C-alpha cells in the first residue's frame, strides 16, 4: 500500500514544526511535504524530518504552488491531506497592513491549487482563531454569529467562508492561544508560558490583564486533533465539512495564566499585578472574553484536551529537560 501524502502549509512556524515532527514520529508511515516562505527552511527542522519535501511558496501572490508535486519527487503525487498553519496571526500586524493580512490569511491561492487536482479528493484542515468571536460573553459555540472586532478576526472569518464555499472536504479549527514547548528550530516570537516564566523569574512586578479571557490549548492536544481528523479522512474517505472550536477546557484570564505558572515554578504571586485591558493601548481592539465551548470537539473526536494547569506543567517540564 502506498504511503499517504500530507502537506503542511507554513511548516516552519510554531504549530507547523510541531505537526511535522508528530507526523514523522507517527506509527503511520506518511510522505511529508511542507511549505516555507523564507529563503531556506531552517537546518534543525530539515535534520529532524530528513525525508520531508520542502518547497517555497509566497501565499500573498500564490507563487510557488507546484502544478504537480511529482515535479519535486517521483513518488509524491496528489496530497491526501493539506494542513494550513500559515497566517499573519499578530493582530497588530494585521491592523497595520490589512491588505497583506487578507491576502495571506484568506487562502485563495492554496484552495485554487487544491482545485487544480481535479481527480483528487484532498482534505483541507485549516487553522482559524477564537478571535472570530466578538468577546461579549463566555463560552462561544460554533453556531454563534462571528462578529470579529479587529482585522485579524475579519480575515479569518473571510477565510472560513472562502473555504466552505470552495472546498468539498474541509475541517476548520478555531484555535485559541497555542502553548507548549519550543520547536526544534526556535521560532522568533515569544511563547506565552515561557515568557510569563521568564518575566516572573526576574523578581520584578509584571502587569497582567484580569478581564481578558481565553481557552488556551496545549500544542500536543491540537496536534492530536489534527491527527485524528487526518486518520479519519484517510480511513473512511467520507465527505467532511466540519467547524470545531479548538480550545482547552479552561476559561482563564491573563492573571490566572500567570498564577498557574507561578504556582508550578514557585514564583512569588505578589509579582503578578492585576490590571484592566482597558488601561493599555495595543494599537488594536482586543475582544474581552472569547472563551469557547468545546463540547462539539469532545463529542466528535472523543478528545479531551488537558487542563491549563496540567499543560503548564507539561510545558515547563519539557523545557527543563531540553
Per-residue pLDDT for 1 more than 60?
no
Please, which residues have CB within 8 angstroms of residue 275's CB and are 6 or more apart in sequence?
Answer: 207, 208, 209, 210
Residue 176 has what pLDDT? 98
223-312-293 Cα angle (round to 5): 60
Half-sphere exposure of 202 (CA within 13 A, CB side): 9
Q: Which domains does the chain have, with CATH numbers?
A: 4-181+216-248 (3.40.50.720)
Look up the pTM and report it. Answer: 0.96
Q: How much is the average pLDDT of 44-73?
A: 81
Average pLDDT, the chain: 93
Q: Between the CA of residue 105 and those of 10, 11, 88, 126, 319, what are the distances in Å?
A: 12, 15, 6, 10, 31
Please, which residues have CB within 8 angstroms of residue 139's CB and are 6 or more apart in sequence?
Answer: 251, 291, 292, 293
* Tens-digit pLDDT profile for residues 70-83: 555 555 668 899 99
Residue 69 has what pLDDT? 58
* Tens-digit pLDDT profile for residues 156-210: 999 999 999 999 999 999 999 999 999 999 998 899 999 999 999 999 999 999 9
Per-residue pLDDT for 118 more than 80?
no
Residue 120 has what pLDDT? 65
Q: How much is the average pLDDT of 249-262?
A: 98
For the beta carbon of residue 28, count every other beta carbon within 10 angstroms: 12
Q: Between the CA of residue 145 and those of 133, 140, 161, 224, 292, what are the distances in Å?
A: 8, 9, 13, 27, 13
Per-residue pLDDT for 320 more than 80?
no
Residue 61 has what pLDDT? 84
Residue 29 has what pLDDT? 82
Task: Supply the DSSP symbol for 63.
Answer: T
Per-residue pLDDT for 27 more than 60?
yes
Amino acid at each position: 500500500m502506498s504511503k499517504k501524502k500530507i502537506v503542511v502549509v507554513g511548516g516552519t512556524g510554531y504549530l507547523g514544526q510541531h505537526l511535522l515532527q508528530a507526523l514523522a514520529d507517527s506509527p503511520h508511515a506518511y510522505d511529508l511535504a511542507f511549505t516555507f516562505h523564507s529563503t531556506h527552511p531552517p537546518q534543525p527542522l530539515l535534520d529532524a524530518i530528513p525525508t520531508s519535501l520542502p518547497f517555497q511558496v509566497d501565499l500573498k501572490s500564490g507563487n510557488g504552488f507546484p502544478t504537480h508535486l511529482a515535479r519535486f519527487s517521483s513518488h509524491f503525487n496528489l496530497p491526501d491531506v493539506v494542513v494550513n498553519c500559515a497566517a499573519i496571526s499578530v493582530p497588530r500586524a494585521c491592523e497595520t497592513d490589512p491588505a497583506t493580512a487578507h491576502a495571506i490569511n484568506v487562502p485563495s491561492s492554496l484552495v485554487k491549487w487544491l482545485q487544480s487536482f481535479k481527480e483528487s479528493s484532498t482534505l483541507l484542515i485549516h487553522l482559524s482563531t477564537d478571535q472570530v468571536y466578538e468577546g461579549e460573553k463566555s463560552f462561544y459555540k460554533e453556531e454563534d454569529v462571528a462578529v470579529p472586532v479587529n482585522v485579524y478576526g475579519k480575515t479569518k472569518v473571510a477565510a472560513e467562508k472562502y473555504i466552505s464555499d470552495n472546498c468539498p472536504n474541509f475541517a476548520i479549527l478555531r484555535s485559541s492561544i497555542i502553548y507548549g514547548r519550543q520547536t526544534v528550530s526556535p521560532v522568533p516570537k515569544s511563547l506565552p508560558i515561557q515568557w510569563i516564566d521568564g518575566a516572573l523569574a526576574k523578581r520584578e512586578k509584571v502587569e497582567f490583564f484580569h478581564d481578558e479571557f481565553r481557552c488556551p490549548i496545549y500544542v500536543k492536544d491540537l496536534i492530536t486533533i489534527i491527527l485524528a481528523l487526518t486518520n479519519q479522512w484517510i480511513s473512511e474517505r467520507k465527505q467532511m465539512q466540519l467547524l470545531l472550536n479548538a480550545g482547552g477546557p479552561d476559561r482563564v484570564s491573563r492573571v490566572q495564566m500567570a498564577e498557574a505558572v507561578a504556582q508550578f515554578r514557585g514564583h512569588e504571586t505578589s509579582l503578578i499585578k492585576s490590571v484592566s485591558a482597558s488601561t493599555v493601548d495595543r494599537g488594536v481592539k482586543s475582544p474581552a472574553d472569547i472563551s469557547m465551548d468545546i463540547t462539539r470537539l469532545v463529542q466528535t473526536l472523543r478528545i479531551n484536551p488537558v487542563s491549563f494547569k496540567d499543560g503548564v506543567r507539561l510545558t515547563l517540564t519539557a523545557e527543563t529537560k531540553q
